[in-house]
Amino acid sequence: MRRTASLAAVAVLAAAIIALPAAASASTGATIYPPTNSCTTTPSAFVAGGTVEFACADGTFGANEEITITVRGENGAAVAFARAAFAVTTGSTVRESSEEGALAPVAITFPADAVGVYNIEAISASSAGGTASASVVDASGLPATGGDARTSLGLWVGGGALVAAGATIALASALRRARDAR
């Protein structure tokens, strides 16, 4: 009888240990998992110093809740949200969602020295939110990657030095072979 009581106690303890994580992870509110591409940037490519609008569709967030918008990219600290500049490495601002859970378009102005791709995300307490990206292009529409002739000068000089060294070695070898052949 004593052995049966011990086994029953162990079984109850094991069941409680297994059930505790499930109870701890139970959510008191509904978490929103919006679909892919629920947030967009218009336009998706811009000239440095340009402005894009970031917006999220209905149902992306809960009604009238606080949304944090963050911009990450090279010199992301210099982005401006509706004339409010930020002096940190990542720019961010807080807005409120509509009754339908949408984020109204937010104008984001990028710095004049912007290059590469900027990732923009919006999250809230009840939603995983959404992301979108915007790419910097030059006036001709080509991507502005940050490389130019000044930054690649060292590569050209180094490459030229290697070619000159190779030519010198090849010439010296040819002269030596010609001399040995006589």
- Which positions ≥6 away from 116 have C-beta within 8 Å? 73, 74, 135, 136, 144, 145, 146
Residues 62-95: pLDDT tens digits? Answer: 889 999 998 887 766 566 665 444 433 467 888 9
| pLDDT, average across residues 130-147 | 76
| pLDDT, average across residues 108-129 | 86
pTM over 0.95: no
């139970």: which residue's tokens?
26
For residue 30, the surrounding DSSP H or E stretch is none
pLDDT of residue 84: 44
45-47: strand order across its sheet: 45-47, 130-137, 117-124, 66-72, 91-96
Both structure tokens of 28: 């008191």
State how far the Cα of 110 lies from the Cα of 75, in Å rounded to an integer: 9
| Mean pLDDT of all residues belonging to the chain | 80
Nearest residue to 143 (alpha-carbon basis) of 120, 116, 119: 116
Cα distances (Å, whole numbers) of residue 56 to 59, 62, 84, 86, 176: 9, 12, 21, 22, 73
pLDDT of residue 137: 85
pLDDT of residue 78: 60
pLDDT of residue 182: 83
